[in-house]
Amino acid sequence: MEEGTGQAGIERGMIQRLVEQEGIEQQTSQRLSFEQREEAFRLLDEGVSLRQVARQFGVNPESLRRLAMRHKPS
């Protein structure tokens, strides 16, 4: 497999151009500040879906789920 080419044979640059062309919002792997975590937990407690909260803060839903599980009061 060539450098920069995925398993399907599509170059990363092509994917990036399509994402930008279609206006797709990209998730980043940023860490949440203390205030952002508190706000995310509050929204989850209020019944906002995990996916919606993750999208709002630009994080992976699975990462947010794990974070919430680790900080859930016993």
Q: Residues 1-49: pLDDT tens digits?
A: 444 555 666 777 887 788 778 777 655 546 788 899 999 999 999 999 9
Which has the closest alpha carbon to 65: 43, 50, 46? 50
What's the CA gap between 34 and 31, in Å, rounded? 9
- pLDDT (mean) for 47-72: 89
Q: How far is CA 61 from the centre of its chain?
A: 6
- Confidence class for position 74, pLDDT limits 50, 70, 90: low
58 vs 71 pLDDT, higher one: 58
Strand partners, 5: 11
CB atoms within 10 A of CB 52: 12
Query: Virtual CA dihedral for 55, 59, 63, 67, nearest 10 degrees?
Result: -90
